[in-house]
Each structure stands twice: as structure tokens, then as C-alpha cells.
Amino acid sequence: MYNSFGSSLWLMPFSKHCRADNAYWKHFFDGKEGCYHTQHCEDVEFRSNYSGWPTDIVNIEVPSARGPDAYPSISEVAQEITNTMECSRPVQMSFSAREVADGTFFKAIQDYDPDSERLVYQLRKYYQGDPVLNPLTPWDRPPLKNIFCIYGIGSKTEVGYYFAPSGKPYPDNWIITDIIYELEGTLFSRSGNSVSGNPGATSGDETVPYDSLSWCKTWLGSKVNITRAPQSEHDGSDVQTVLNVEHQKAKDLVPNMTRTPHVKYITYYEDAESIPGKRTAVWELDKANHRNIVRSPVLMRELWLQMWHDIHPDAVSKFVTKAKRGPLRDVDCYWDYGKARCAWPEYCEYRYIFGDVHLGQSCRLKNSSTDLLLHYLL
């Protein structure tokens, strides 16, 4: 959503209060194609601001003088446009998530953007007219047996934009004049101007806002077990668990748990009661970046433990225990210079092997990884 609004059409948000006709069954069982997904919005959508989003998605300034030639795509009249903008008083227009997703925004700027007509066509054909699903409306839980939704939280993330006409021909006819960010329950702008809105419980992963990331928490069952544990290896002393939390359908869950300063946590939301034959889990990793989360050693450890737990015939629970995270490999052992010994003495010991170049390399597991993994079958 930079030079052309169409460049990020697929990234558009939606209002959680507006749903479309479920054309899936009509398409596959009634043989009806070409269905148009009519949106049905709850009353709360029109009583509240911002469509359940932290703030308005798009804010634009346009000159008060309208007309088909307000923003022509030929450079010969660019100077005339600039003069018109300088002499006319700009009008501020703001658009919520619903108004962006249903096309109201694109229709409103048709007089100012020659590309809007094409965008409205794309919106209707490829999104609202999709015979199976309109992705710009709230998604129900996909019909999969196991769903693990994993994302980062607590980072500065863009949630709104201010645009103004540049006076240049398409596709450079819009410029970003300001950006609205969310950060751990607050909203602020790049320019320092005050921001009105409804900030969420936390913020996103630097790329995707929290409201979008956390939508999969609405897929959890009627009762949820919530656990918060440090990301690093731990002995369980800083683990917080709340069992059988009541969960209202299609609602977010915000745990009342504490955080130790400068400690990064993982918060696990896992079904206590789920749809029969289904299992849903949501993992929130503090300060995990959207682009780098797949390279996170912490995430790889958790995924590996969960997969190992799932395939083990002696596993008892649906999810791997979070009570403790100790070293599982020799490389997880290290030298504790404060205590002049290997850290995690319960698991690690000092055992020098020729070729070790520092103390940490000589710290190795006492027992095999197979024996240590048995603790995670509880």
C-alpha cells in the first residue's frame, strides 16, 4: 500500500463484526457458482469506531475541488494539479477496516485515483465473488485435525496510514505522510501527533498487527489451558499456568499473568475442551520478529518437542508439558562463570575432550538425550 493501493490489495484487513454468506456449501453441494458474498454486519459494528481495529486503517487528504481531471495520469498537467491543491482547502477522509474491505474506500477516491475502478473490479471478482471464501471477512476454523498458530508479539507494528496526493501522475500519485504504530498496548504516530483509537492488549510482530495475528485464538475450544513460561531453559520456577479458562466463541483471550522485566516469554493457549477429533493451540512468542521467527532456536525446540511427543506411543497428554525446559544436547550446556562450574549441574557436567578451546565446550550432558526426553511424556 505505497505508490498504488492495488499493490497490497491482498493485505487488506477486515472487520471482525462483519461476516459474509457461507457460499462454501452452496458451491459444493447445490452446484451454484458465481455467488456474491453479501456482508452482514452486527449492530456493534455501527455503534463502535474503527471496526474492532486499533484505529482507522486509511486516512487521506484530498482537495475540496473534485472532478475527473483532479488526478490525471499525464505529466503535462501535473503543475496545474499542484496549483489546485495549494489553492484549495484539503478534506480529511478516514476509513475503517470494514470500509476498506467492502470497497467503500476505493469508491470514495475514484474521483482522485484513476486506478480505483480497476481495484473495485478486482475486489469484487477475486474476493467478494470468490465461490468458496471471501478472505476479507472473518475466517472460521479450517477443517483440519491439528492447528498450531504461532506468532510473535510485543513489537512496534504499523496499523494505520495517512496519505496525501503528490501531484504526480499514476502510479506515484499518492505519498505516505504519516504512519500509526501499535506497541504493547499503546498507539503513536511517526510524526508525534496524537492518535485516537482502541489499542489492543499488546502489539504485533513488526509486520502483522496483533488483531490479525490473534484471530486464530477465536478458534480455541470452550475451555483453554493457558501457560506462560520463559523462552530460555528454565527449572519451572517462573512458569504460570491457569487451567480450564472459559472461552467465549470468537473472542480473544488475554491472561492475567505477570512478567519479570527483561525476560522473554512464550504464552501457550491450548484446548482443554475442543471440538471432537480436533486440537487447537496458539503460541505467542515475546519480541519474535515476523521474518526471523522460523529461525528462532526457541521455536525449533518447542516444535521438535511437540512433534516428538505426538509420535511417542507412551505420551499421555494432548500437548507436551511446559513445566521445565532443560538442556537436550551437548551444545545446550555452558559454563557458569559466576559459580565456576557448568550450568544446569543436574543435566550437565564438565568433561574435557581433546580439541575443546574454551570451558563451555567441555560442558556436556551427563545422560543421553533419550533419557532426558522421558521427562516430557507426562
Under the banding of pLDDT at 50, 70 and 90, the label for residue 62 is: confident
Average of per-residue pLDDT across 273-291: 92
- Rounded CA separation 253/273 (Å): 15
Average of per-residue pLDDT across 89-96: 84
pLDDT tens for each residue of 189-210: 999 888 889 898 999 999 999 9
- Helix, coil or strand: residue 117: helix
Q: Is the pTM of this model over 0.85?
A: no
Asked whether residue 301 carries a pLDDT value surpassing 50, the answer given is: yes
- Sequence-separated (6 or more) residues with CB below 8 Å from residue 283: 148, 149, 150, 151, 266, 267, 268, 269, 302
- Rounded CA separation 378/317 (Å): 7
Give pLDDT, residue 151. Answer: 96
